[in-house]
A and B are shown apart, each in its own frame.
Chain A
């Protein structure tokens, strides 16, 4: 089996390094960070923290070098999906492409370029500490299922899930992967921008009753949009919010969107609040709070251009 990880940032690296430990899987990584690519090719891709792994794989920033692959795993930031899949689609002419990205709307972009798409949601997290080295912070489940308009065959989804699980990334293949995806996007859209707009950590957002109620307003709008698509959430995002606020979980965690705002990097808000608002509009479900939050975060990004 040949797998190409498209976008070898922290999450992509977790998949790439773990899969590379399997004898029957050949792993490629496509990434535009040349120092990271060079380090991977020179000494391998090293994970530390939640697991100690050194994966031997081929990395490249030149999509023309990619061979035909059985699977793609797309792990770029959501706003880079279009560019990344447009460059690499030729490698997946006969393969299947999974997304493990944040937000909603990524599958739709992949489907413009490739024929067989896998809807995915992943919870593991980490960060690149230096080129070729990733700190693995959080282990967690991954769920894969067909992207209904352009589905990958169930047997192929099961084959990828089995390989990931065997490599140390527990992955479940399901018939309908929308439940976990919408639970995660609702959680992220209800909490990340509140941190990003106020500067507060997740725990401090939840300690303010007025902000916690605002998060619930966002959750309720997201749930209504999910329900209009007959999506059954696999668990309640409210529970995830309260769980994450515990001191021993993520009380002091700065949401990735807050980290992006502090570093003046473009955020994933278009695929979180913007994604929910977009689905809401198509389905006729009002999402005024998501629309407001979306506009405010886009305004924050616009202010950097001044």
Chain B
């Protein structure tokens, strides 16, 4: 069996780890010792779309885990530097796959080691119930593409492994069109949700009255699309259509940045809106609305410090 290590066992990492444990030898690299101990002793339960408990190895140090062939780096973007430093000098033959929001995670990770890299973007979502229990909410796909030292075939192999575990996965020869679609979507939906307190619901697509959020959402997405165009990326999906589609289903998803703000945690603003704004400045594309959102989120973070 393939040996897989999931580094960072939050919601996304837990969903990968539990499903993959059915088809691979899975270990989890956690930050907290009690989290690793609980996973070793109780396993990892998935509820929601499916109900099963997976057995897996877990530790806080890579030295205590078997050397994996595939590492899925599933920590939050804010924790990526620290995690990369912990795995530096380990597992030189493994392929590392990043799943962080935004763009640039594979570059950050790549500065800490010469590993082969895959990049990915995931649309699945869940809710953390405890250290050993995650609820699987949205069974949307993870898209995987080649990055440093890997080929489209490597991406396809990883996608096949993940798909065989019961999750949805798809490989792309070039992930940028998909990644940018999600970046623009996330930079808009996460910041608007975090500043207003609204989950991603029908307000985000409403264009009925002058102050309706749909106008702001559309304008933010138009700025993002102009940046993508200047970067030479043709988007895989139109972010506005993604927004309308998601909100018309009647669900009200809580974007992670809204959860961060409500818990007074640092947000991923630097990796999401920050990445978009940096690209825009590099390319000379004006993004005054995204700058406004970035400033307001950063100031909001300051308010609870």
Binding site for B on A (CB under 8 A): 194, 197-200, 204-205, 208, 210-211, 214, 217, 270, 274, 277-278, 281, 288-289, 291-296, 298-300, 302-304, 306
What residues on A are CB-neighbors of B302 within 8 Å?
198, 200, 204, 208
The answer for the CA separation of A293 and B299 in the assembled complex, in Å, is 15
A204 to B304, CA, bound (A): 12
Task: Establish whether residues B197 and A278, one from each chain, have CB atoms under 8 Å apart when the complex forms.
Answer: no
Q: Is residue B219 within 8 Å, beta carbon to beta carbon, of the partner chain?
A: yes
B195 within 8 A of A: yes
A200 pairs with B303, CB closer than 8 A: yes
* B296 in contact (CB, < 8 A): yes
Closest to A193 in B: B296
Stretch at the interface among B22-30, B49-57, B207-215, B241-249: B207-215
0/1 string, B213-236, CB within 8 A of A gives 1: 101100100000000000000000
Known A288-B289, A296-B216, A299-B195: A210·B210 in contact at CB below 8 Å: no
For the complex, what is the distance from the CA of A182 to the CA of B229, rounded to whole Å? 40
Instruction: Report whether B192 and A299 are in contact in the complex, using a CB–CB cutoff of 8 Å.
Output: yes
Shortest beta-carbon distance from B215 to chain A in Å: 6
Expressed in whole angstroms, the minimum distance between the Cβ of B176 and any Cβ of chain A is 28
Main secondary structure of the interface of B (DSSP, over half): helix
In the complex, which residue of chain B has the Cβ closest to the Cβ of A292? B216
Name the A residues within 8 Å of B40 (CB-CB). none
Q: How many contacts between A and B, using CB within 8 angstroms?
A: 92
Q: Which residues of B contact A199 (CB under 8 A)?
A: 300, 303-304
- Do B295 and A210 touch (CB < 8 A)? yes
With A296-B196, A299-B196, A303-B198 as contacts: A198 and B300 at CB distance below 8 Å? yes
Count of B interface residues, CB-CB < 8 Å? 26
A303 to B295, CA, bound (A): 21
CB distance from A253 to the nearest CB of B (A): 15
Chain A residues near B195: list those with CB within 8 A: 197, 296, 299-300
B210:A277 contact, CB within 8 angstroms: yes
In the complex, the chain B residue whose C-beta lies closest to that of A214 is B295
A251 to chain B, nearest CB (A): 15
B289 touches A294 (CB 8 A): no
Question: Is the Cβ of B292 less than 8 Å from the Cβ of A303?
Answer: no
Residues of B within 8 A of A217 (CB): 288, 292
Whether B288 and A211, one on each chain, are in contact in the complex, defined by CB atoms closer than 8 angstroms, is no
Do A291 and B303 touch (CB < 8 A)? no
Q: Is the CB of B300 within 8 A of A296?
A: no
Asked whether any CB of chain A lies closer than 8 Å to the CB of B298, the reply is: yes
Smallest Cβ-Cβ distance to B203: which chain A residue: A302
Q: In this complex, what residue of A is CB-closest to B206?
A: A302
A295 touches B300 (CB 8 A): no
Q: Tell me the minimal C-beta distance from A132 to chain B in angstroms.
A: 35
| Interface contact A298-B296, CB-CB below 8 Å | no
Q: How far is the CA of A210 from the CA of B203 in the complex (A)?
A: 28
Complexed CA–CA distance, A289 and B304 (Å): 25
Residue-by-residue, is B167-200 near A (CB-CB < 8 Å gives 1, otherwise 0)?
0000000000000000000000000100111110
Bound Cα distance A163, B135 (Å): 68
Q: Given the complex of chains A and B, what is the CA–CA distance between A200 and B305 in angstroms?
A: 11
Q: Is the CB–CB distance between A296 and B299 below 8 Å?
A: no
B288 — which chain A residues lie within 8 A by C-beta? 217, 288-289
Q: Name 17 A/B residue pairs within 8 A (Cβ), A-sorted.
A: A199-B304, A200-B299, A200-B303, A205-B299, A208-B295, A208-B298, A210-B298, A217-B292, A277-B210, A278-B210, A288-B219, A289-B288, A289-B289, A289-B292, A296-B196, A302-B196, A306-B199
What is the minimal beta-carbon distance from B170 to any residue of chain A, in angstroms?
33
Contact B295 A296 (CB under 8 A): no
The docked-state distance in angstroms from the alpha carbon of A214 to that of B213 is 20
